[in-house]
Amino acid sequence: MLPRYEPRGVEERWQETWEAEGLYNADPDPSRTPYVDAHPPPNVTGELHTGHALQLAIGDTVIRMKRMQGFNTLFQPGYDHAGISTQNVVENVLLAEGTSRQELGREAFEERVWAWLHEYGGKILVQFRRMGASLDYRRTRFTMDDEYVRAVMHFFVHLYRRGWIYRANRIINWCPHHETSLSDLELEHHDVDDTLSTIRYPLADGDGYIAIATVRPATIPADVAVAVHPDDDRYTHLIGREVIVPWVERRVPVIADERVEREFGTGALKITPGHDPTDFAIGRDHGLPEPSCIGPDGRVTAEGLEGLTQKEAEERILDWVKERGQLEGRKHYRHSVAVCERCKTRIEPRISLQWWCAMDEIKQPALQALRERKIVFHPESQHRFAIDSLENAPDWNISRQIWWGHQIPVWTCPDGHLTVEEETPPACAECGSTELTRETDVLDTWFSSALWPFATLGWPEETDDLAYFYPGHLQTTAREIIRLWENRMIFSGLELLGEIPFSDIVIHTTVLARDGRRMSKSLKTGIDPLELIEQYGTDATRYGLMKNSLTQDVRFSDSALEEGSKLSNKLWNAARLIVTACGGAAPAERPSSLEERWILARLSQVQREVERLLGEFDFAHTMDELYHLTFDDFCDWYLEAIKVRLYDGDAGARATATAALERLLKLLHPVMPHVTEEIWSYLPGRRTRLIVAPWPEAGDESEAGALERVQDLAQMFRRSGIVPALEGEERRIFNAVVKPERAKVTGNADAERERLRNEIARAEAMLANDRYVQNAPAEVVAAEREKLERYLRELDAIGD
């Protein structure tokens, strides 16, 4: 064993061994209790980032503890086809080749995607292995697997037959680059510098004008009205009259609607139902037409402006308006604008025929389960948010006009009858026509994600896996995914299987870049976990990531990983001492001395604490406990105290030391699996791998404080140089650890006496305060008295 622990090589070796020996495998076994974490499937085109790494560390730590505790653990791996995202990647490849998906056609394009995926996709699972994640890789699922596709089709047909899926023409978010609809949740909002133009619309009867403010003059050709607030005195006399829309010179009415903000702009709003969500809502309520002047590609279609970009059309229209003296002014205006989260193209609100899933009924059981806390969020504060967002969830736009994904299983005959089946039907269900054409839209990626916890287990087939492993337990995810995914898994699970898919949701925090900004590829602020692993090792990276973050988003800091690195090295060297000194001493807890009873009690105490903390998914404090147990208690006190006895060949000390080390390794294994397994392999009499070794029984902890007095006096000795009056075992331990004959004292006795006298004076003053003694709880006062007595005794021990 080398003096310095070197994770490189060791970690890969154990990762391969564990997997090869089948120790990650989970199979139904009625004699054991399952524990399941269906790990969030990353995008098939993705690469490991810090969020994944943290998520894996958290999930794997819990899974490893549960596995040692005897649960039949299933840590489910897989990846997601990520519709738009993947299509985007492959389209970029095509672009570089000078072609496009339109040129290839749909079938050839899909083949290209598959080909690309076979070559480059799914590599992220290789990176998952480097995090030491004990996923059952045999069970890797992909949301485009044949079985999974069948599950998605089944889900769609199920919802359709329930009457919850319908088709409707509504205004939706349209990405002109991908030429598809997007749900509200797939947008980002960016602040942009824009120009607000004030334009006069002349009254049709030639008597003055009404001025409106707009940031999008290019949509003027599709205006169908001008709206004002019903109580706006400036305009009430104009309601019901008509104005003339510039450029197209069409007469449209002035209407009244409360949704118009009187304070904004001129207080008059041009109504363009075809290109603005608010206008669309107002237009529907007033029964207005819904013309369009912008095509799916974002270019203008209005007469006289065909094929122009919106920018060009805007200039033409503004010139037109200016020539006629109708341009009242233009001013700088900064506001937030929706963009496609994938390509950052500005969203074009557009009326389009889409498939929807009605939410009213399907969400009710989920809301009830959440309100009854059958699912617990960690931290608790996210619980309210989950309920609120589900309560307010609008109908779900589930169709996308892209090519990569699950094609909607709806067929139409020439008469327009719809046939909805899981597999291609032979003929129209209504008229028997065999001339069927399939719906070209695909489903929203999250539609298939919603099935992850049970489609991975074979649903809709009634498999043994499903019966045994469903419902699961743990779910780890980021905050922004709650509405997109968590809520949808919950209502789908309840609807299809009648049970919640998991019991605990850990919302981990966002790790920010070193400078406090968000990690992002485009800003180049990202931190590559593989580089961290290269530098610190997997164990240290796991430790460092979990040490960070609890309630608030936290900046990435290397010092936490360095700490992890030190911990693994410290553990390694402690083991080296015990292994070399004890040789093949069989581990046995037979404490014959105070420090041995103490360390065993401390191990039990910390174990209970770790069990409690991990039960609450409090990872940062778990790291803290383990670090101090290892450094302060195990190494600096216990090992220092028994070192000499180990060298002297004391059989009891050797057996106990080996046993204590075993317990320490077990406590650390869930967090630092590799270094602990490596050390474990050096210990005598090994029967099983540590990964599947039984979690220890926490024992008696009554002597966990037994060394406190010696520790206090040792510190005092180092400050004052005065050897305290200690006897028996306490004297022996003091001499073994502190070595008075060799220790150089840095402080002095006078300073120590001074410190104690000050403490005594403070305590006496507190106890002399009547209001304190009368009002403070009795135990607080009693504790103060004890402290005073202790100070007096210590002062006595070093001589006044």
Partner RNA sequence: GGGCGGUUAGCUCAGCUGGGAGAGCACCUGCCUUACACGCAGGGGGUCGCAGGUUCGAGCCCUGCACCGCCCACCA
* Strands annotated E in 266-417: 268-271, 327-340, 348-357, 376-378, 396-397, 399-400, 410-412
For RNA, the closer CB: 280 or 469? 280
Which of 164, 151, 153 minimizes the C-alpha distance to 357? 164
Residue numbers 591-650 binding RNA by CB under 7 A: 620-621, 624, 627, 631-632, 635-636, 639-640, 643, 647
Candidate list 17, 25, 99, 278; residue touching RNA; CB under 7 A: 278
List binders of RNA among 207-226 (CB under 7 A): 212-216
Our CB check for RNA shows the closer of 486 and 495 to be 486
How crowded is residue 373: how many other Cβ atoms within 10 Å of its Cβ? 11
Question: Cβ of residue 384: shortest distance to RNA, in angstroms?
Answer: 7
Build a one-symbol-per-residue string for 719-748: x at contacts with RNA by CB under 7 A, - elsewhere.
x----------------------x-x-xx-
168 Cβ contact list (under 8 Å, min separation 6): 353, 354, 356
Q: Which residues of 80-93 are buried (b: 16+ CB within 10 A; e: fewer)?
A: bbbbbbbbbbbbee
Rounded to the nearest whole angstrom, what is the least distance from the CB of residue 3 to RNA in the complex? 4
DSSP character at residue 186: G
Query: What count of other Cβ atoms lies within 10 Å of the Cβ of residue 324?
Result: 11
Residues 6+ apart with CB under 8 A from 153: 406, 409, 422, 423
Within 165-194, the residues that bind RNA by CB under 7 A are 184-185, 187, 189
SS3 793: helix
Name the segment binding RNA (CB under 7 A); options: 161-169, 299-307, 377-385, 724-732: 377-385
- The neighbour count for residue 340, using CB atoms within 10 Å, is 23
- Pick the piece of the chain touching RNA (CB under 7 A) from 125-133, 206-214, 369-377, 494-502: 206-214
For residues 73 and 60, what is the distance between their CA atoms, to the nearest angstrom? 10
CA distances for 174 relative to 290, 440, 672, angstroms: 16, 17, 47
* Least distance to RNA, CB of residue 524, Å: 16
270 contributes a contact to RNA by CB under 7 A: yes
Shortest Cβ distance from residue 377 to RNA (Å)?
11
Q: Between residue 424 and residue 483, which ones bind RNA under the rule CB under 7 A?
A: 479-480, 483
Out of 162, 371, 518, 590, which residue is the one contacting RNA (CB under 7 A)? 518
- State the pairing for strand pair 554-555/511-512: parallel
Interface with RNA: number of residues (CB under 7 A): 94
State which of residues 343, 593, 787, 797 lies at the interface with RNA (CB under 7 A): 787
Span near RNA by CB under 7 A; candidates 78-86, 264-272, 434-442, 660-668: 264-272
35 CB contacts (<8 Å, ≥6 apart)? 63, 66, 67, 71, 72, 73, 74, 473, 474
Residues 746-775 that bind RNA (CB under 7 A): 746-747, 759, 762-763, 769, 771-772, 775
Binding mask 4-33 for RNA (x = CB under 7 A): x-----------------------------
Examine residue 777 and tell whether it contacts RNA (CB under 7 A): yes
Minimum Å gap between C-beta 2 and RNA is 9
Pick between residue 7 and residue 409 the one whose CB is nearest to RNA. 7
Instruction: Select the span of 18-26, 84-92, 549-557, 606-614 touching RNA (CB under 7 A).
Output: 549-557
Instruction: At 428, give phi and psi (nearest 5°).
Output: -60, 130
The answer for residues whose C-beta is within 8 angstroms of residue 668's C-beta and 6 or more apart is 571, 626, 630, 675, 676
Min dist CB 788 to RNA, Å, is 9
Asked if residue 776 binds RNA (CB under 7 A), the reply is yes
Q: Pick the closest to residue 396 from 484, 459, 463, 311 (CA basis).
A: 484
Give the binding range for RNA (CB under 7 A) out of 14-22, 253-261, 289-297, 456-464. 253-261
**Least distance to RNA from the beta carbon of 138, Å?**
35
510 binds RNA, rule: CB under 7 A: yes
Report how far residue 305's alpha carbon sits from residue 316's, in angstroms, rounded to the nearest whole number.
8
Could you tell me the CA-to-CA distances from 384 to 175, 387, 480, 502, 507 in Å, in that order? 32, 5, 14, 18, 13
Length of the chain: 800
Site string for RNA, 48-67 (x = CB under 7 A): --------------------
- Of the two residues 296 and 721, which places its CB atom closer to RNA in the complex? 721
Which CB, 433 or 535, lies closer to RNA? 535
Which lies closer to RNA via its Cβ, residue 149 or residue 763?
763
Site string for RNA, 305-344 (x = CB under 7 A): ------------------------------xx--------
Q: Is 381 in the site for RNA (CB under 7 A)?
A: yes
Residue 505 Cβ, how far from RNA at the closest point, in Å? 15
Q: Which of 555, 608, 612, 757 binds RNA (CB under 7 A)?
A: 555
Q: Peptide bond before 460: cis, by omega within 30 degrees of 0? A: yes
Least gap, CB of 4 to RNA (angstroms): 5
Q: Pick between residue 723 and residue 776 the one whose CB is nearest to RNA.
A: 776
Of 308, 249, 241, the closest CA to residue 268 belongs to 241
Distances (CA, A) of 495 to 359, 458, 460, 472: 12, 17, 13, 16
Out of 193, 263, 360, 423, the only residue in the binding site for RNA (CB under 7 A) is 263
Output 348 or 563, the one with its CB closest to RNA.
563
Burial of 307 (0-12, 13-18, 19+ CB in 10 A): exposed
- Note whether 102 binds RNA by CB under 7 A: no
> Does 709 participate in binding RNA (rule CB under 7 A)?
no
Q: Which listed residue (20, 423, 559, 741) binds RNA by CB under 7 A?
A: 559
Whole-number Å distance between alpha carbons of 441 and 101: 15
Residues 120, 264, 324, 371: which binds RNA (CB under 7 A)? 264
> Max alpha carbon distance in the chain (Å)?
112
Q: Which tokens go with 27?
A: 């199979």
Cβ 407 to RNA shortest distance, Å: 27
288's tokens: 């207005």
Which residue has tokens 């029984």? 697
The CB-of-621 to RNA minimum distance in angstroms stands at: 6
Minimum CB distance to RNA, residue 785 (Å): 12
Q: Considering the complex, what minimum distance in angstroms separates the CB of residue 757 from RNA?
A: 11
| Binder among 261, 297, 700, 708 for RNA (CB under 7 A) | 261
Q: Given the rule CB under 7 A, which of 245-253, 425-433, 493-501, 552-560 is the region that contacts RNA?
A: 552-560
**Rounded Cα–Cα distance for residues 251 and 318 (Å):** 19
Q: Which of 228, 249, 246, 245 is nearest to 237 (CA)?
A: 228
Q: Which is nearer to RNA, 282 or 494 (CB)?
A: 282
Which one of 430, 435, 553, 648 is in contact with RNA (CB under 7 A)? Answer: 553
User: Closest Cα partner for 640 from 544, 739, 564, 755?
Assistant: 739
- Between 5 and 469, name the residue whose CB sits nearer to RNA: 5
Cis peptide before 777 (omega within 30 of 0): no
Q: Which position among 12, 147, 562, 611 is part of the footprint of RNA (CB under 7 A)?
A: 562
Rounded alpha-carbon distances, angstroms, from residue 554 to 111, 131, 377, 521, 544: 43, 21, 20, 18, 12
In terms of CB distance, is 105 or 649 closer to RNA?
649
Helical ranges in 140-247 per DSSP H: 146-161
Instruction: For residue 738, give the nearest of 722, 709, 708, 714 by alpha carbon.
Output: 714
DSSP 43: B
